[in-house]
Structure 1
Amino acid sequence: MCATCGCDTGATITMHEHSHQHDHSDHHLHEHSHKKVVDVEQDILHGNNLLAERNRGYFDAKNILALNLVSSPGSGKTSLLEKTLTDLKGQLNFAVIEGDQQTTNDADRIHATGTKVVQINTGKGCHLDAHMVLHAVQGMKPVQDSVLFIENVGNLVCPAMFDLGEKERVVIISVTEGDDKPLKYPDMFHSSTLCIINKTDLLPYVPFDIEKVKANAKKINPALEIIELSCTSGEGLTTWYNWLKLKAAAAMPA
């Protein structure tokens, strides 16, 4: 049980279970379990960060640009990945780690582009962690001088806390969501390096203020880069591709 959010990540830690039981017959036990959760949370994040550094060292040694793609469900992460992998095929070497609670649907879509892909099903877990990524990378063995996309579970809360060893964290928001998302989920936007505003072709049909969302995002993270695009119309994709190529080139040896 994950002590940071209560999701079941398959870990053997069980102390957090008591904090969600509603047996008020032993109020002392209920309070005591909360004190244990704090310690467990610290241990989990510390252990995760150590593994994240191990992942980062591996990526750096092999000149792999690792990107952690994060968003709410339905933002268009997988569609953007499909479009990117198809349009840049032959220009960059790609590999993908797909994170979902259940099914291999997204991994099947990525596999159809001809890209090496590994699926991680988290079950009741609501985020990927560095340990999951480590095992996925050990199995897939991404090639030297490549780009690794890690598509995280759709969630703007818990993934913000878990460093996977990535070089860049890319948060994706669609115009079908609220323009106050950066203010509601500040940790995710603060920890990201790029924000992609997706589905801009729908702007005429939704009450979404794109200048407001950009201002809100910059309020949380002044250094955050922002790209507006649409996978449907193709608008802004060149800007995204150029950003990606620039970051990939920086990760490669001179």
Structure 2
Amino acid sequence: MCAHCGCTQGDHSLSHFHHHSHPEHDHLDEDQGAREVGGGKKQVSLEIDLLEKNAFFAKQNRAFFRKNGLLAINIISSPGAGKTSLLIRTLESFRGKIPAVVIEGDQQTELDAEKIRQTGTFALQIQTGKGCHLDAHLIAHALERLPIIHQGIVWIENVGNLICPALFDLGETKRVVLLSVAEGDDKPFKYPEAFYGTDLVILTKIDLLPYTDFSIERCQDGLRRLRPGIEMLELSSKTGEGFEQWLKWIKNELEKVKI
């Protein structure tokens, strides 16, 4: 949880501009967090408080998305699983057809946001500093700075991490977890929280399958144990293999939120 990983420091920025200060909602600073979690009961209380505040903003974000007929997709994965590559190919496939904006989450730099902008898509970078995840409050501030779109998609590329991002509801419509074949087929067993709460799992970089010992069957078995019926797509952002199924899934979900 955040009190342990250091992301309670609260040194986030939106494309180099610090978000508005709301002391009653901001993360606790690192020293305060360390004092509060000295005992077991206090630690549980702090974690519940953080998640309750997050739920408040998540509810507001969700209402905003529904009001504007927006499909908000929160993409979670380990670093290097292919989130940005997936986004770029997806945005290029829908260019001129579906309005879209992107919220990028990284600890430092605007490297991924700059790549997204090359597709002609507006991208807002959130730099989380020592933070290891985005939260609903940060997304709420980001929404204030995004261009207005309707009947489109708000893409949220979360910070590369399979732990904390899984615990924080951003108010998204759908959550998608990426897993690359290079990471190993045991991730659903090791990080159950990330996969249990997702709407879709995407196995990426399948063009590398011949060069790994990744077992699709073992991975699917782990997913079924967590939640029977969970859907997994297999694709390669590099070759385009399996991409049509992914685009079809997006179109179907977008139809569900149109007003």
With normalisation by structure 2, the TM-score equals 0.89
Q: Where does residue 6 of structure 1 map in the other structure?
A: 6
Q: Where does residue 248 of structure 1 map in the other structure?
A: 254
Q: 1:161 to 1:216 in 2, by over 3 A?
A: same
Q: Where does residue 238 of structure 1 map in the other structure?
A: 244
Contact 1:107/1:118 (8 A) holds in 2: yes
Tell me the distance in 2 between the aligned counterparts of 1:12 and 1:209: 42
Q: Where does residue 15 of structure 1 map in the other structure?
A: 32
Q: Compute the RMSD of aligned alpha carbons.
A: 1.7
Q: Where does residue 78 of structure 1 map in the other structure?
A: 84
Tell me the distance in 2 between the aligned counterparts of 1:95 and 1:228: 25
Shift of 1:122: 0.3
Contact 1:4/1:41 (8 A) holds in 2: no
Contact 1:142/1:148 (8 A) holds in 2: no
Shift of 1:31: 4.6
Shift of 1:15: 3.0
Q: 1:9 to 1:58 in 2, by over 3 A?
A: farther
Q: Where does residue 158 of structure 1 map in the other structure?
A: 164
The residue identity in structure 1 corresponding to 2:92 is T
Return 5+ residue gaps in structure 2 as ranges. 11-26
Say which of 139, 142, 146 aligns to 2:145: 139
Say which of 42, 60, 70 aligns to 1:54: 60
Specify the SS of the correspondent of 2:183: coil
Specify the SS of the correspondent of 2:97: coil
The residue identity in structure 1 corresponding to 2:237 is C
Specify the SS of the correspondent of 2:7: coil
**Structure with larger Rg:** 1
Specify the SS of the correspondent of 2:170: coil
Specify the SS of the correspondent of 1:3: helix
Tell me the distance in 1 between the aligned counterparts of 2:61 and 2:93: 28
Percent identity reads 47
Return 5+ residue gaps in structure 1 as ranges. 20-29
The residue identity in structure 2 corresponding to 1:199 is K
Q: Where does residue 15 of structure 2 map in the other structure?
A: none
Contact 1:15/1:37 (8 A) holds in 2: no
Q: Where does residue 19 of structure 2 map in the other structure?
A: none
Shift of 1:38: 1.9
Shift of 1:9: 4.4
- Note the 1:197-236 alignment, pairs <5 A: 197-236=203-242
With normalisation by structure 1, the TM-score equals 0.91
Tell me the distance in 2 between the aligned counterparts of 1:97 and 1:3: 25
Tell me the distance in 1 between the aligned counterparts of 2:184 and 2:148: 36
Q: 1:31 to 1:116 in 2, by over 3 A?
A: closer
Say which of 60, 70, 73 aligns to 1:67: 73
Write the deviation string for residues 134-170 of structure 1: whole angstroms up to 9, x where unpaired: 0001111441111011000000000111000001100
